[in-house]
Amino acid sequence: MNASQPVTFLVIALTLLMVACTRQDGLTIQSETAQTDHAPSESLSQISYTQIYASSDGETHFRDVTVPLTRFAPAPPAQPFAQSGLQSATTIRHAAFEAHWGVYDRDHNIFHNASERRFVSVRRGISWVRTSDGETRQFHPGDVFEAIDVAPSKGHITWVGDEPSIVLFSNHTE
């Protein structure tokens, strides 16, 4: 296996995950109708995901990021599919959080930073994230968000609901 294969696999896996998920608060897929000589068909043109970022004053916020998709066949004879451009990914890590993890932090307003810039894919359970500006969003299985609020930002608070939560961290260096 050469050095680019794990990154290529991760990009394909994340793309497939993004195509499979359409939750409004974590990931949105937008379509446009393509006209052909035959019957109209749908073509995916872009995706959107939530990002946690820090403004110049260190305050953290949510924003929606939109990424264009292009149809491409990376592994013929497999059919082409819509995908984004490559993004750097250095490591992945599975993480399991017990039920009610982070509730103490939520109740006592204790913020933390992302230890590394990363995409977070929620696989099981429900997680909430509050940014330092006070906005809170809920993420469900299938949702994807990006946390880039590393130190010295004011950070965010994360907590888990009544069931354990399992997430996949995809760390990146950009």
Host domain of residue 157? 4-171
For residue range 148-171, list pLDDT tens digits in order.
Answer: 999 999 999 999 999 999 999 999
Tell me whether the omega of the peptide bond preceding residue 152 falls within 30 degrees of 0, making it cis.
yes
The string of pLDDT tens digits covering residues 74-118 is: 899 999 999 998 888 899 999 999 999 999 999 999 999 999 999
Question: Domain total for the chain?
Answer: 1
- Cβ(83)–Cβ(132) under 8 Å? no
- In this prediction, what percent of the chain has a pLDDT beyond 90? 66
Tell me phi and psi for residue 105, to 5 degrees. -60, -45
Task: Tell me what pLDDT residue 174 has.
Answer: 61
- What are the pLDDT digits (tens) for 26-38? 444 444 333 333 3
| Lookup: tokens for 117 | 């810039």
Q: Give one word for 33, left, alpha or beta, with left for phi > 0 and alpha for psi -120 to 50.
A: beta
In DSSP terms, 167 is beta-bridged to: 95, 122
